[in-house]
Amino acid sequence: MDTSKLKNGKFFYGQYANFSQNRGWFVGSFFEENNPCKTDNVEVCYYEHTKEDVVAPHYHKLKVELFIILEGKAKYTVNDKEVILNKGDFIFVDVNNIVSIKFLELTKVFAIHSPSIPGDKIVV
């Protein structure tokens, strides 16, 4: 099998905490064209939220969201249904669902969106 066409050389590694200048996003379409972090397929972010931080109600028309709680506790409200997430929990939110978040203690979160469409956040 000829694997030469499979080696595009586009990869990178690092520490996600070093991307605070990008509001925590370390993969996505919003990076410069020659940046190895740039892709239209997915957005990945690492957030640290303090107690009482909130994310305003919003939805996405074209991309899905997956939130993974690494540490802490948060209340996610999806279409008026409340879900409490703790360390080790995750929540998947499909398109056209209204989601808001209130952080109940210091919380560390990975957020994954797919595909990467920076303008696809509609605040309610």
Bridge pairing between strands 43-49 and 73-78:
unpaired
Q: Is 21 helix (H, G, I), strand (E, B) or coil?
A: helix
Percent of the chain with pLDDT over 70: 97
DSSP H or E segment with residue 110: strand 107-114
Q: Domain-by-domain residue ranges, the chain?
A: 22-123
In the chain, the N- to C-terminal Cα span, in Å, equals 52
Residue 61, φ and ψ in degrees, nearest 5: -85, -30
Quick one: fold of 22-123?
Answer: Jelly Rolls (2.60.120)
CB 100 within 8 A of CB 58: yes
pLDDT band at 101 (very low <50, low <70, confident <90, very high): very high
Read off the pLDDT of residues 6-21 as tens digits, 9 standing for 90 and up: 777 778 788 877 766 6
Q: What confidence score (pLDDT) does residue 20 get?
A: 65
pLDDT tens sequence across 54-80: 999 999 999 999 999 999 999 999 999
The pLDDT score that the predictor gives to residue 95 is 98
